[in-house]
Amino acid sequence: MVYETERDLLKDIYITRQAMVRVGKLHGLNHPETLKISRQLDDLLNDLYKPENRHLLLLSDRRSQVAGNGVNIGK
């Protein structure tokens, strides 16, 4: 999938990561739902590294260096 804005993809990554942590804590890391969400997160991270989304990766790196605290998805 090609994302038009950095915010869209990074927001999806952030939300999916939070869901995976929440489900993992509740049901365990080997639970089918945790594994399903983990695969979804893998797909999103793979999207971030696709050539057509490379500009988003560069922007996120630049923002995290400025913020000094990881990816900034904004509000």
Summarize pLDDT for 43-67 with one digit per residue, the tens.
999 988 888 777 776 665 555 554 4
pTM, two decimal places: 0.70
Residue closest to 10 by CA, chosen among 59, 68, 69, 65: 59
Q: Is the dihedral of CA 42, 11, 16, 4 positive or negative?
A: negative
Q: What is the pLDDT of residue 55?
A: 72
pLDDT tens track for 6-21: 678 889 999 999 999 9
What domains are defined for the chain? 6-60 (4.10.280)
| Amino acid sitting at position 26 | L
Residue with structure tokens 């952030």? Answer: 14
Q: What is the end-to-end Cα distance of the chain in Å, rounded? A: 23
Residue with structure tokens 């049901």? Answer: 27
